[in-house]
Amino acid sequence: MLKKLDEKAQTNQMILFLFIMLISMFIFGDPGRRVAIAEAMNSALFPTLGFNGAYVLLTVFLSGCLVTILSSFFTNLFTDWIAVGRSQEKARAFQAEMRKARMDNDTAKVNKLMKHQTTLMKEQQEASSGMMKPMIFLFLFIAPIFIWLTYFLSQIPYFYFSVPWAGTVIVTGRAIGIMSNWFLLYMVFTMVFGQVVRAGFKYLSWNMKGVGQPKDQTS
């Protein structure tokens, strides 16, 4: 029965992954489609988020904020952080007990823990099963914003900014391999900002459900 449930869960995740891939191919696979999406959004976003091209770096940072907040929101919406936290604590306790049992050469304890491992893995899979669902919203709501940002920056190719290691860096240039300068800044900023936003959503999720951090329940 457990094996059938695992196979069903894996099949559902595979179907969802294939559906997401089809959406991404539809959106990103055709340059004309990307331009059409960007131009449709540009009339509204250019004067608001784009500041009519006056503050390019601010546009990059605010776009990163918007994308990070939306992606974190949808992830939080479909993820049971309480179940994830409990499964992680159980996994840590399980690994500690397994190490101790092996160091003590306690074969009976090792066999007992190995039997419990299947149940533990099932709980971990169930706890993390909702993390694939936000990817649908990533492509439906967030990808168009990123497409517009790329289009917006392509219209301002001669904007320069300064960094600690260079006095003049062109925003659309490529200082590191295939990564554009603006995208490098975007990635660094969103990685830092994303950690704060995700931690905030987790904190709200815990408190809205009126529970504290889950205690270890492995025995």
Q: Which two tokens stand for residue 35?
A: 């331009």
pLDDT score of 152? 92
Note whether residue 8 is domain-resident.
Answer: yes
Domain total of the chain: 1
d(CA 49, CA 63): 7
Note whether residue 94 is domain-resident.
Answer: no
> Is the pLDDT reported for residue 216 higher than 50?
no
pLDDT score of 59? 92
pLDDT score of 65? 93
Note whether residue 103 is domain-resident.
Answer: no
Average pLDDT over all residues of the chain: 78
> Is the pLDDT reported for residue 4 higher than 60?
no
> Is the pLDDT reported for residue 85 higher than 90?
no
49-59 confidence digits (pLDDT tens) = 999 888 888 99
133-182 confidence digits (pLDDT tens) = 667 777 777 888 888 998 998 888 677 777 666 677 777 777 666 778 88
Q: What is the sign, positive or negative, of the torsion defined by CA atoms of 84, 139, 58, 154?
A: positive
187-213 confidence digits (pLDDT tens) = 889 999 999 998 888 888 777 765 554
Note whether residue 85 is domain-resident.
Answer: no
- For the entire predicted model, the pTM comes to 0.69
pLDDT score of 33? 85
> Is the pLDDT reported for residue 184 higher than 70?
yes
3-state secondary structure labels for all residues of the chain: CHHHHHHHHHHHHHHHHHHHHHHHHHHHCCHHHHHHHHHHHHHHHHHHCCHHHCCHHHHHHHHHHHHHHHHHHHHHHHCCHHHHHHHHHHHHHHHHHHHHHHHCCCHHHHHHHHHHHHHHHHHHHHHHHHHCCHHHHHHHHHHHHHHHHHHHHHCCCCCEEEECCEEEEECCCCCECCECHHHHHHHHHHHHHHHHHHHHHHHHHHHHCCCCCCCCCCC
Domain enclosing residue 51, as ranges: 2-79+133-207
Give the up-direction half-sphere exposure of residue 145: CA atoms within 13 A in the CB hemisphere. Answer: 22
Note whether residue 45 is domain-resident.
Answer: yes
